Amino acid sequence: MIRKFLRVAAIPAVAVVAVVTSLAGAAPASTSLVITAVKINSSATGPLVVAVGDSILSGHGLGSDESWVAQLALQNNFNLVNLASDGSGFVTAGDNNDTFADQITTAIDLKADVVILSGSSNDLGQSDAAVETAIGAVVTKLHTALQKAQIIAVSGVWGATALPPQMVTINDSVRTAVKAVGGTYLHIGQPLGGRVFLMQTDEVHPTAAGQAAIAHHVTKALNRAGEAL
């Protein structure tokens, strides 16, 4: 149940950096993999909730406490670490060279009590088979490492335009994988569909009001599922 809104300042992001080395022919090449952990409401005494996802979940273009998951953390007074980052997906590496698998590794290291997973349109154009395999691997890895953790997957969010058919396929694969390990899948529909006024000028990312609309739909889905944060 959502309690009275509690405004708590976000703690500045903490970057966790790992260096991954790959070989191209005989010449080594190094790329930096950066996982940015944004802490919200860290003084809360409840379970540690870790969010894994893309730029919609990270709140691209907004304050760190304006993403929908941060709004839920403040409303429900739980301890949140948001690992979501721009451009990342199950298969697609994001701006920080991370995929959801990399974010999950950090969630495991943090010993999360609850993991919220959402996304991602960034995998559009990847083969359905590759995305399905990556989803299965991520969910299985998480469940194996944190068997007592609550896994909550939220259907991927699209903007104001028509939902691409592949997003339905991705959502279906996430639902199947999460339910197979006893997790909870929340279908929230498309809170931004047809609502251009909830989108930033890039027409990709929601405004703070758009994020609030997503948070509202997630809350309703949690209530329908009998889940609480």
- Tens of pLDDT, residues 153-195: 999 999 999 999 999 999 999 999 999 999 999 999 999 999 9
In this structure, are residues 49 and 84 in contact, taking their beta carbons and an 8 Å threshold?
no
pLDDT of residue 17: 46
Q: How far is CA 172 from CA 33, 195, 210, in A?
A: 29, 24, 24
Please confirm whether the linkage preceding 155 is cis (ω < 30° from 0).
Answer: no
Say which residues have a Cβ less than 8 Å from residue 5's Cβ, sequence separation at least 6: 74, 75
pLDDT digits (tens, 9 = 90+) for 21-37: 333 343 444 468 889 99
**The residue count for the chain:** 229
Weakest mean pLDDT among 5-14, 84-93, 120-129, 163-172: 5-14
Helix (H) or strand (E) holding 29: strand 27-40
Domains, in order of start, for the chain: 11-225 (3.40.50.1110)
In this prediction, what percent of the chain has a pLDDT beyond 90?
A: 83
CA pseudo-torsion sign 36, 42, 48, 52: negative
Whole-angstrom distance, CA of residue 146 vs CA of residue 63: 30
Tokens for 127?
Answer: 């083969």
Whole-angstrom distance, CA of residue 8 vs CA of residue 83: 19
Res. 16 pLDDT band, cuts 50 70 90: low
pLDDT of residue 209: 98
In this structure, are residues 158 and 217 in contact, taking their beta carbons and an 8 Å threshold?
no
Weakest mean pLDDT among 18-22, 98-102, 128-132, 158-162: 18-22
Helix residue spans in the chain (DSSP H): 55-58, 68-76, 100-109, 128-145, 165-180, 208-225
Query: Do strands 114-118 and 150-154 pair parallel, antiparallel, or not at all (unpaired)?
Result: parallel
pTM reported for the whole predicted model:
0.88
